[in-house]
């Protein structure tokens, strides 16, 4: 898959987690939920890679 490819993913999350995402989105002034979720996922994956001693590509 190329860097420019976009894939749609659907997920269900508990209301409390959705509220935390909304709070993060507004605090960081992201325009969309999708943008905030991408940043949170990227940050989480980087943290997990660092804990495992892997360097992200």
pLDDT at 57 over 70: no
CA separation for the pair 23, 47 (Å, rounded): 21
Q: What is the pLDDT of residue 42?
A: 96
User: Of 16, 46, 20, nearest to 33 (Cα)?
Assistant: 20
Q: What is the pLDDT of residue 13?
A: 96
pLDDT at 56 over 80: no
* Residue showing tokens 């860097």: 3
Q: Is-contact 36 30, C-beta < 8 A?
A: yes
CA separation for the pair 26, 30 (Å, rounded): 6
**How much is the pTM?**
0.79
**Residue 12 pLDDT level (bands cut at 50, 70, 90):** very high
Q: Is-contact 32 24, C-beta < 8 A?
A: no
């Amino acid at each position: 898959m190329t860097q420019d490819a976009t894939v749609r993913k659907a997920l269900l999350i508990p209301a409390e987690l959705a509220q935390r995402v909304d709070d993060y989105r507004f605090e960081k002034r992201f325009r969309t939920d999708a943008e905030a979720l991408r940043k949170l996922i990227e940050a989480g994956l980087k943290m997990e890679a660092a804990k495992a001693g892997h360097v992200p590509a």
